[in-house]
Chains A and B, each alone.
Chain A
Amino acid sequence: MQDGSHELDRPMQHEREAAAAEAPAGVARAAAVPVVAVEREFVRFNRLHRTLHACMIVSFLSLATTGLTLKFSYTKWAVVLSRLLGGFQTAGYIHRFAAVIMFGTFITHLVDLYRSKKRGQLSWRSLLFGPDTLIPNRQDFHEFVATMKWFLHLGPRPRYGRWTYWEKFDYFAVFWGIFIIGCTGLTLWFPVFFTRFLPGSFLNVATIIHSDEALLATGFIFTVHFFNTHLRPEKFPMDTTIFTGRMQLAELKRDKPREYEALVARGELEEHLAEPHPDIVVRTIRVFAWTALAVGFCIVVWIIYAMLFAYR
């Protein structure tokens, strides 16, 4: 709580510094020439986080598409898609290549965590159980209960902090997913090696776990996660924070009042403000985001079709 500026998953130091350095000049310029004045935005995700999320999207969509063709190989769709992807063999290469990217993303994230801990000279305790931790805690439980009440008009909307409980759930779902799907995936990738010490029928079990867990991941991401973070009516059509890294201050105040207040209280808000991206960048990001979203929705439709209408 005391080391407010060094908790988990803050924008990277240099970016914060850059934002802080820019701030007075920007304010000055805005005062001098009001026409060019642009409201600065709160930097929620640093560049590495954004990059990792983008890598995650690309690899996840690739994995899902190629993997589901195999899972739903009994549908015409799968055969067509497999052919579009360059045949099953190529689909397999894509799948494994994407898996490597995802592993890379995962490891990079872990390394980054470790490095930010070192850089901020944090203890494990403050990293894992500090105020901005991603590990669910009592606060999250209270917020969850309060949210339920709010849903049912029994109470006000809770004052969320930096990470809401559903964001934490999403975060650990990925951890869990990567661990489960990754392990079983590796077993299936190197069956000869793994059967040196595992029974052959474990491959069958691994297949079931791998594919069902993947189904869970894709299904969850493309419905619940999409809704939670991108498609909520109040953010409709899309919340691009994870891509731009920036959110409006007003939004921060509204959505994460506890974090905003903590920052203001510590007088650190200015450090976290930055100029918005140029239009071209924002537009590019939107194209990418919409594409990913569209692919995701197609996959959901396909899953529903395969599970409900063509299941065998």
Chain B
Amino acid sequence: MSAGYRVRQAPWPGIRRISWLFLYVFIFFLSPSWAADTPSNADCLACHDDKSLTTKRGAKTVSLFVDGKKFASSIHSSLSCTSCHASLEGKDLPHDTPVAKVNCGTCHSSEAELHAKSLHGKAAARGDALAPRCVNCHGNHDILPAKDRRSPVAPLNVPMLCGKCHREGTPVQTQRPIEQHNIVENYSESIHGEGLLRKGLVVAPNCASCHTPHSILPHTDPNSSIARKNIAATCTKCHGLIEQVHRKTIRGELWEKEANVLPACIDCHQPHKIRNVFYTQGMADADCQRCHADERLKASDGRSLAVHAAELAASRHAKVACSQCHSEVNASRVRPCETIKKKVDCSSCHAEVAQQFQRSKHGQLLAANDPNAPTCKECHGTHAVLGRQNPASVTFPTNVPTLCARCHREGQKAAMRYTGRQHEIIQHYTESIHGKGLLKSGLTVTATCTSCHTAHGVLPRTDPDSTVNPRNVPATCGKCHHGIQEQFVESIHSVSVTKTGQELPVCSDCHTAHSIRRADEDGFKLEIMDRCGRCHAEIAKTYFDTYHGKVSRLGYTKTAKCYDCHGAHDIQKVTDPRSHLSRANVVATCQKCHADATRRFAGYLTHATHHDPKKYPFLFWSFWGMTALLLGTFVIGGVHTLLWLPRAVEMRRELRAEEAREAEGNPPAKPAEDKNAGR
């Protein structure tokens, strides 16, 4: 691999070369005429063209050979040797040794400045022999533009260039405090390395893309491009869209303020190992399992701290590392978790949901430190959390009623503190059309608790933001029953149509909240009149005075009920032309049941009462006429009977006496007669 790189530092031992050096130095001093001018490149190459030209630096022998051809094709070919070797300007040849070091910063000042502040630069300043300088990466006389594929700093070559020092086993890697291991290997296997090295995708990031070319700093340095708070910016240089996505879940402000408690890119996408699939995090999962796989592991309060790896692996968070949820771990501790102070905060990833939760009744209770308040884990569980699409999940639609029932079943903690009108919620729901659809028919699209109350934004109906607040109920039900909602919002019962201080009915007022029945069930049909009657008391009463009402009281459902005539969800004032009872529509409405009904037929008074002489004089007087007749007849008949009664009793007594007398007077004839008399 490193074959492609010329290793300048490699010593070329040989006495001959040293003697050549002396020869040149000698010639240099013998030729005073050269000293007068700045030596041309040709002048320099006159000596440095010799491959055996070397010098000793300390114990090392260093070649002084300059390949003229390569220099000519280098990016600096237009420069003279003295442009860089400025100390030789105007000097006679052969020049003195040692020559002052080339300062690239003369031209490349900003890069030099960055390098000076960088880890490499500081190490070099300390005199660290392993510290790289410009030439170590860029080369010297054969410098090629970075765009040139042959350049050691060309994207494709950067990993190997850095790898010279940072691969396993090098002095840098072994002697300097570098925490990452197998950097080059890992990188070459990562998605980035694969893109760059295998697929030749030169835009794929190399070492310098993340670490910067010159301003390389340890991640502990806040100015470092890989510092925790900067890493996102670094990654998003390329992954712009990812950041947008991520910012959606992690609130932007937290990202800025509390970078340390939030996962950074590298928490999930480990440096150098980045894959398009998540890796198990080196530190977290395996390290955590060292202790937490133990079944006997218990907290000071007796809670089991065992974590079942298999459970976690089957969970929704299979690809999430332990430390992502249990943040604040410190990998440098023996027990990395001893630095953990906070409980798991799901909002780190589930920010939007967490925001809803905080606003919800559950969240409010939690904020008030109420011991009954449910947290995320009460519903979702902990390590075994499953998505709601998973039938085994407690949050799978068919399991939601059972889940909510844990607290909201009568006698449980939520039901105990509840002071509203709804009782036996779970039982009623189970028997309702929704409950039957969900639990008996297994229809997972059927409304379950969360469909109406939402999963995380649960609020009491008195809260104006609640999905079950009367104002919002039509929209809530309309999520599924959209067609009905469309009709309803146009109807007289809709708040958008009728502006009144009175409370207008919403879906749940007629259909109830939890015990919703099928509207084609007898029970519903028979109850609806009383439901309407809760507000329309008088009109319901008079309805029950008429045939339709009486019949329905007896349990007959095929008769006209409120909604058969007025409409169910599209109720309008009868004066409204859209009403089913408007002049234009009323006959057709009657004809729904009475096929040949005429306009005269429609004149039947469906809410007639004989108690109102002003509104219905006919009925009033018919009723009282009939009542008078009835009373008159009964009074006459009754008096007649009552007057008769004592006389009849008297007669009976006389008859009996007479019979007795006859029996005495004529005994033999008696029995036969008596027998007949009894008939």
Contact = CB atoms under 8 A, between A and B. Distances in A.
Interface in A57-111: 69-71, 73-74, 78-79, 82-83, 87-89, 91
B648 A234 contact: yes
B630 A195 contact: no
Contacts of B604: 191, 195, 200-201, 203-204
Interface string A229-249: 000111010001000100010
Nearest to B662: A250
Interface stretch (B239-247, B385-393, B637-645): B637-645
B652 A236 contact: yes
A78 B626 CA distance: 23
Interface string A215-237: 11001100110011000111010
A201 B546 CA distance: 11
Given A88-B556, A224-B641, A233-B645, A188 B651 contact: no
Given A201-B603, A204-B608, A234 B626 contact: no
A191 B634 contact: no
Given A152-B643, A204-B604, A233 B622 contact: no
Contacts of B601: 191-192, 195, 200
Contacts of A91: 554
Contacts of B544: 73-74
Of B554, B558, B603, chain A has the most CB atoms within 10 Å of the CB of B554
Interface stretch (B417-425, B496-504, B670-678): B670-678
Interface in B558-609: 558, 594-598, 600-605, 608
Contacts of A220: 633-634, 637
Contact of A233 (B558, B603, B640, B649): B649
A151 B553 contact: no
B629 interface: yes
Chain A binding surface SS class:
helix
A233 B652 contact: yes
Contacts of A191: 594, 601, 604
Given A192-B597, A213-B626, A220-B637, A204 B648 contact: no
A69 B554 contact: yes
Interface of B: 541, 544, 546-547, 549-551, 553-556, 558, 594-598, 600-605, 608, 610, 616, 618-619, 622-623, 626-627, 629-630, 633-634, 637-638, 640-641, 643-645, 647-649, 651-652, 655, 672-673, 676-677, 679
Contacts of A199: 600, 603
A282 B679 CA distance: 8
A89 to B, nearest CB: 6
A275 B551 CA distance: 51
Interface size range of chain A in the complex? 35 or more
Contacts of A223: 634, 637-638, 641
A232 B648 contact: yes
30 contacts: A38-B676, A74-B550, A88-B554, A88-B556, A89-B556, A91-B554, A148-B643, A151-B644, A157-B651, A192-B594, A192-B601, A196-B600, A200-B602, A201-B618, A204-B616, A208-B623, A216-B630, A220-B633, A223-B634, A224-B637, A224-B638, A224-B640, A224-B641, A233-B645, A233-B649, A234-B649, A234-B655, A236-B652, A240-B679, A248-B676
Please name the 10 residue pairs, one residue from A and one from B, whose CB atoms are nearest each other, closest first: A200-B603, A212-B626, A88-B556, A224-B637, A195-B601, A151-B643, A200-B604, A73-B553, A73-B550, A234-B652
A87 B556 contact: yes
A308 interface: no
Contacts of B649: 233-234
A63 B509 CA distance: 39
A220 B655 CA distance: 28
B312 to A, nearest CB: 60
A198 B600 contact: yes
B622 A79 contact: no
A150 interface: yes
Contacts of A219: 630, 634
A13 interface: no
A177 to B, nearest CB: 11
Nearest to B630: A216
Contacts of B645: 227, 233
Contacts of A240: 679
Nearest to B610: A208
Interface in A101-126: none
A262 interface: no
